[in-house]
Amino acid sequence: MEFFKYQGTGNDFVILDGAESGPFLSAREIEALCERHTGVGADGVIFACAPTSGADAAMRIFNADGSEAEMCGNGIRCLARYLYERLGLAREEMLIETLAGIKALSLSVGDEGVDGVEVDMGLPELSAPGLPAPDDPARPGEVAVTMEGGEELRAFCLSMGNPHCVLFVEDAAKAPVPLVGPSLEKHAIFPGRTNVEFAQIDGTHRIILRVWERGVGETLACGTGACAAAVAAIHLGSCESPVEVRLPGGALGIRIDASGHVHMAGPAVEVFRGEISGAWAAETRPR
């Protein structure tokens, strides 16, 4: 079974061709494939599938714990490069179907192939299933979250096709991501769990960000998380579009157009290609 490994600002994925069969690995197999010591190692697995609508292709994205996500900003950029360079979809403008709707992508292509990808992430939602209601209806997105032990955190909750909980901190480097991240991910006010962003405002057009991803843990980058942090900061008046979001794995450019759509631009890099061995598959598949 051939696979390709891609990364976008350090967010890494195994990409498999699912055009004929759709997602063909079980949750257990996906989790084992993402394991960094005994598998390939990745933040998630992407299947390049046949679309059910008028899109050019479809993306099915699974987290490292085997759970399926609606959308992944870094992942969809990687998929676009894979489609262009490996599956022969030589279009600089693509439509990719996701569980969060169809996304439009623009590829920047140079002599060495795809240099970068911009994704129209659509409109952010401040009220969506799986998000808590705001404390004050006149201030959508703003929520007080009571943690176990009684501590109250101020958060900005929104959806970028998947749920996000943004916390603004003084110093992202010192933020208690491994402690607060998993507690918020599985907090009762998020019935489908949530991604958690720890955002430090570093000027009118810059955010320093760390992300605890739902079903993965802390990652080097998160595309939808970068969008969520930028939207929250702009909504609260702390930043203005465009915003450079600096993550441990690199920087992403986020801008909001006149219609309110969020656009994310960043790299997508092929790391290597390989073949999953029959011995690994036989050991991993349920008996």
User: Which positions are catalytic?
Assistant: 72, 222
Residue type, 236: L
Cα separation, 172 vs 94, in Å, equals 35
